[in-house]
Chains A and B, each alone.
Chain A
């Protein structure tokens, strides 16, 4: 069965520091991968998605970037964090089955606090 790993679970960072969050998926190949952010008490906002190695699409202009160096690895980064980057970051994956929508499954998330 497929599993998705996301770390760290919690992170406290000072303003202006760099960020690297990692997500890996097991038990599947060639997945679609997604990064979402959830502000406290709010809905989920899609930040980036990837359909393959090195292929990144950005949904919202911001202080963050994403990379996909391997098929099942997705990384969210920032060079200099802002206070507004605080939130709950969730990685998700879906299978790629032709041209049809597939369910997205979320990792356990990283709770990021910026001080």
Chain B
């Protein structure tokens, strides 16, 4: 089955700096890669996703890059703000019939300090 590794497990940056979180996956059949943000005690919320036919996607301060050959993808947050502090999860998905099965990384706790 799919295995997703995520690094670093914790990341502390100063407000205004950039943050980068990296993930690798094992199953070459995976073709969809979402990123979720989870604030303490709350549900994960989808912040950005990328499909395997695209190398990069941006949404304001957030961008995701995908390298299919190397089987890794990364989340980039620029101009970080205190409200970006949360746990971020990457995931990789392949289809089983019509169901999209997500395998999650172990999470990165991002702390944005003033």
The chain A residue with its CB closest to the CB of B106 is: A43
How many B residues face the partner with a CB closer than 8 A? 27
- CB within 8 Å for A102 and B100 given contacts A90-B43, A109-B43: yes
A15 at interface by CB-CB < 8 Å:
no
A-B CB pair tally, cutoff 8 Å: 60
Q: A32-B100, A43-B106, A90-B43 are in contact. List 15 more A-B contacts (CB 8 A).
A: A34-B102, A43-B89, A43-B104, A43-B105, A44-B44, A46-B103, A51-B97, A57-B99, A94-B100, A99-B98, A101-B32, A102-B100, A104-B34, A104-B46, A106-B45
CB-CB nearest in chain A for B1: A59
A sample of 21 cross-chain residue pairs with beta-carbon separation below 8 angstroms, ordered by A number, consists of: A32-B99, A34-B102, A44-B44, A44-B104, A49-B99, A49-B101, A51-B97, A51-B99, A57-B96, A59-B101, A90-B43, A94-B100, A96-B98, A100-B95, A101-B32, A101-B94, A102-B100, A104-B100, A106-B43, A107-B43, A109-B43
